[in-house]
Amino acid sequence: MENDLAEIAGRYDTDKAVHTHYLRNYEQYFGNLRSLDIKLLELGIKAGGSLLLWRDFFSRGLIVGLDIEPVALADHTGRIRTYQGMQQDTVLLDRIACETAPDGFDIIIDDCAHIGVLARASFWHLFDNHLKRGGIYVIEDWGTGYWDEWVDGVSYSPRRRKLSPSLYRITRVLARLRQSRFGRMPLGRSILSLCKASVLKMQYHSHDYGMVGFVKELIDELGTADITHRQFGSAPVRKSKFAEMHLAQSHLFIVKA
């Protein structure tokens, strides 16, 4: 019988062992891939414990890791490859993919710097060029964007406001004007959109810092079909690159369409 992920994690020096909800999410998303000869890339591997974890979990998988620090691993199976370098170095990412997964990775996990701009650089490069269709991209620890002591995190201050009934009435008037002749003219449409946006902006508060800001950008990619909707959005029409996005506490899974 196969061991569960928590049991395997307990054998190795990996911080995944303490994040039990991460392990549960991984079981859910990776369970049916377990016996396949998948190719997995993890960005950020510290002592290499998570690579040993993935090697044992995916009995036929090729496990590739990248870290800014050198990592020496004893691996008797020959199914682990490690590289030294920066997650944002797209030339290096191309070389790693070319040498280990020329047809694309099945799984990519970012457990690296947890800095928004760096995670974004490696995400879009790897997602667009080196993740298979149906492949899964995982981002760990996106909650660092709420930590003031983190390099690009800012502490959260709730500023959620209620849209007062009078403001709500204004949005209704603006929506009616949008249907009028004025609203159908390009300049009228722009003026009304601007007014509507500035009124509605007062309703919610978005914390757009570090990894949290980056994750919110990814939500916009998920919304592409509505953003480019033939009738209500702006051209050119296109579908999202994401088939699915699952957000959990500090843990994000995206399935490539």
Ligand X SMILES: C[S@@+](CC[C@H](N)C(=O)[O-])C[C@H]1O[C@@H](n2cnc3c(N)ncnc32)[C@H](O)[C@@H]1O
Hey, what amino acid is at 128? D
Active site residue 76: no
Judged by CB under 6 A, the residue of 6, 24, 27, 68 near ligand X is 68
Judged by CB under 6 A, the residue of 50, 82, 144, 250 near ligand X is 50
Contact between residue 116 and residue 49 where contact means Cβ atoms under 8 Å apart: no
15 lines the binding site for ligand X (CB under 6 A): yes
82 lines the binding site for ligand X (CB under 6 A): no
Q: Which stretches of 102-250 are DSSP H helices?
A: 116-130, 165-179, 181-184, 186-200, 210-222, 224-227
Q: For residues 186 and 23, what is the distance between their CA atoms, to the nearest angstrom? A: 52
**Least separation, in Å, of the C-beta of 104 and ligand X?**
21
Identified catalytic residue from 19, 21, 76, 114: 114
- By CB under 6 A, the residues from 107 to 166 that bind ligand X are 111-113, 118
CB hemisphere CA count around 47 (13 angstroms): 7
Rg over alpha carbons for the chain, rounded to the nearest Å, is: 22
**Which stretch, 62-70, 146-154, 177-185, 247-255, contacts ligand X (CB under 6 A)?**
62-70
69 lines the binding site for ligand X (CB under 6 A): yes
Q: Residue 97: enclosing H or E segment and its boundaries?
A: helix 90-100
Tell me whether residue 41 or residue 212 sits nearer to ligand X (CB atom): 41
Q: For residues 11 and 102, what is the distance between their CA atoms, to the nearest angstrom? A: 31
**Which stretch, 63-71, 199-207, 209-217, 238-246, contacts ligand X (CB under 6 A)?**
63-71
Q: Which residues are tagged catalytic?
A: 114
The residue ranges that bind ligand X (CB under 6 A) are: 14-16, 42, 44-46, 49-50, 67-69, 86-87, 111-113, 118
